[in-house]
């Protein structure tokens, strides 16, 4: 499990996207510079320069900047804003000024004589590197202005539709690239969020597994302690408290031994979630009186809240004591099971059940006595709880106490 988050993090989509965009920027720039080289050859063969020194300065400036731009785009991640700004400025200046160094015939007949491919490459670089609509629009606007300025160098061949076509190609290409990179980054962000959720879920599963292992280990330790107590002190105390040959002749000693055995049974929970709380201790105390009458109580506690209101604790203790006393007096059974648990909701509901396998009775023909009506039902009602009794002749009796109702 420890290596799984590392495997999930091994693929950095953002880094791969940046590598792809850098490759596109570099490839487009190198390719368009090659187109410019071809146009230089074509214009020179047609003797299309009117001011060769000025044209040379423009070409050298673009080439010099390309020497700076290409390594910066290849090694800087992300490409700095100043690099993109200078790139737009150099390209726009070259596109606006180069047509003024050409003859009308060269400007009209030679393919891409005004850095049109480089301008598209520049707009694409801004869109992919920034993933910003505002930056892309600003770059395209600066380049569009440069093309309109350059067109005025040849009034005889100036055509608005042609300039609009050049600018439109540039804008559409840059917009497609901006939309593409923004959607691609959004997908990468969504994958990152999903990866974080998967890692968090696996960490929770690992934590639960660790808790389960710890709880099982704790349960095994409790089981060993319970067996040791059962085979040693608990057996001895039970024998001392009994009426048989091993029973102590002094009734006070027998009573104390019975109470001690009852406490030992209650303080050795057989559930991994079992723990000593105010309620479990109160229920063990409620079983002490019945233990002195020879009743053996088996306790099962789970998920109990650490604390309860004092009046609720007293109601559970006294109602449970009355239910146990009824078992000792009427059930004809020496064993009873006492279970207490909580559902661990934000406002936990605590349920205590006293179950015996004794004689039982028919509630329809045998009315509830004073103890059930007042010491159990009424006592739980007073604290906002409830009590119910279920019994059948020959099948024992179950008393359920619940708080809150």
Contacts by residues 154-160 (CB-CB < 8 Å, ≥ 24 positions apart): 154/99, 154/102, 154/104, 154/107, 154/108, 156/104, 157/104, 157/107, 157/108
345 confidence band (pLDDT: 50, 70, 90): low
Q: Is residue 135 part of a domain?
A: yes
Q: Which of 198, 214, 238 is the last residue of a domain?
A: 198
Is 22 a member of any domain? yes
DSSP 302: E
The rounded distance, in Å, linking the Cα atoms of 239 and 281 is 24
Domain final position from 198, 221, 239: 198
Q: How far apart are CA 240 and CA 249, in angstroms?
A: 9
Q: Is the pLDDT of residue 228 over 70?
A: no
- pLDDT at position 67 over 50: yes
Domain co-membership, 182 together with 279: no
Residue that is last in its domain, among 167, 198, 229: 198
Distance between CA atoms of residues 185 and 243, nearest Å:
83
Q: What is the number of structural domains in the chain?
A: 2
Q: For residue 310, what are its two tokens?
A: 């004092």
Give 118-139 pLDDT, tens digit per residue.
999 999 999 999 999 999 999 9
- Tell the residue number behind the tokens 């960490």, with chain if given: 203
Element (H, E) at 205: helix 160-229
- Taking 3-state DSSP, the helix, strand and coil percentages for the chain, each rounded to the nearest 5, stand at 70, 10, 25
139 and 15 in a single domain? The answer is: yes
DSSP structure class, residue 376 = I
Say if residue 174 is in the same domain as residue 279.
Answer: no
Is 391 within 8 Å of 304 (Cβ atoms)?
no
Say if 214 falls within a structural domain. Answer: no
Same domain? 59 vs 174? yes
Across 3-23, average pLDDT: 71
What pTM did the predictor assign?
A: 0.52
Tell me, yes or no, whether 156 and 298 share the same domain. Answer: no
Clarify whether residues 44 and 183 are in a common domain.
yes
Same domain (yes/no): 276, 194: no
Cα atoms in the 13 Å half-sphere on the side-chain side of 74: 11
User: Are 265 and 299 spatial neighbours (Cβ–Cβ below 8 Å)?
Assistant: yes
For residue 263, tell me if it sits in a domain: no
Question: Is pLDDT of 77 > 90?
Answer: no
Determine the Cα angle at 72 with ends 66 and 78, to 5°.
Answer: 135
Question: Are 279 and 139 contained in the same domain?
Answer: no
Q: Are residues 188 and 276 in the same domain?
A: no
Residue 148 is part of which domain span?
4-198
pLDDT for 226 beyond 60: no
What confidence tens digit (pLDDT) does each residue in 277-306 have? 788 888 888 887 777 777 888 888 888 888
**b/e per residue 129-143 (b: at least 16 CB within 10 A):** bbbeeebbbebbebb
Q: Does residue 234 lie in a domain region?
A: no
> Does 169 reside within a domain?
yes
pLDDT value at 347 more than 80? no
Assess whether 53 and 142 both reside in one domain. yes
Residue at 213 is within a domain: no
118 with 23, same domain: the answer is: yes
User: What CATH number has the domain bearing residue 303?
Assistant: 3.30.565.10
- Is pLDDT of 2 > 50? no
């Amino acid at each position: 499990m420890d290596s799984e988050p590392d495997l999930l993090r091994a693929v950095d989509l953002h880094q791969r996207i940046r590598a792809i965009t850098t490759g596109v920027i570099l490839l487009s720039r190198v390719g368009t510079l090659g187109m410019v080289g071809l146009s230089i050859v074509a214009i020179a063969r047609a003797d299309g320069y009117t001011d060769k020194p000025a044209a040379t300065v423009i070409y050298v400036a673009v080439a010099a900047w390309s020497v700076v731009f290409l390594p910066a785009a290849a090694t800087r991640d992300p490409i700095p804003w100043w690099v993109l700004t200078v790139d737009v400025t150099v390209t726009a200046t070259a596109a606006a000024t180069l047509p003024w160094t050409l003859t009308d015939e060269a400007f009209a007949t030679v393919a891409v004589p005004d850095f049109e491919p480089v301008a598209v490459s520049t707009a694409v670089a801004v869109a992919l590197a920034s993933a910003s609509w505002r930056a892309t629009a600003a770059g395209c606007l600066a380049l569009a202005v440069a093309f309109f300025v350059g067109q005025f160098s040849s009034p005889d061949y100036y055509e608005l539709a042609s300039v609009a076509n050049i600018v439109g190609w540039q804008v559409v290409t840059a917009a497609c690239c901006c939309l593409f990179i923004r959607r691609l980054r959004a997908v990468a962000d969504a994958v990152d969020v999903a990866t974080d959720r998967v890692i968090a879920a696996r960490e929770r599963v690992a934590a639960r597994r660790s808790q389960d292992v710890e709880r099982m280990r704790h349960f095994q330790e409790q089981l060993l302690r319970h067996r040791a107590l059962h085979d040693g002190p608990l057996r001895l105390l039970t024998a001392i408290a009994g009426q048989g040959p091993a029973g102590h002749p002094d009734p006070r000693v027998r009573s104390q031994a019975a109470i001690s055995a009852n406490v030992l049974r209650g303080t050795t929970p057989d559930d991994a979630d079992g723990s000593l709380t105010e309620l479990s201790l109160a229920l063990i105390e409620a079983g002490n009186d019945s233990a002195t009458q020879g009743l053996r109580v088996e306790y099962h506690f789970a998920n109990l809240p650490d604390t309860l209101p004092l009046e609720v604790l007293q109601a559970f203790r006294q109602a449970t004591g009355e239910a146990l006393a009824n078992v000792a007096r009427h059930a004809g059974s020496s064993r009873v099971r006492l279970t207490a648990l909580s559902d661990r909701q934000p406002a936990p509901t605590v349920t205590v059940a006293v179950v015996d396998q004794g004689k039982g009775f028919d509630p329809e023909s045998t009315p509830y006595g004073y103890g059930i009506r007042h010491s159990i039902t009424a006592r739980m009602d007073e604290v906002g709880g409830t009590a119910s009794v279920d019994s059948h002749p020959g099948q024992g009796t179950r008393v359920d106490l619940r708080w809150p109702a």
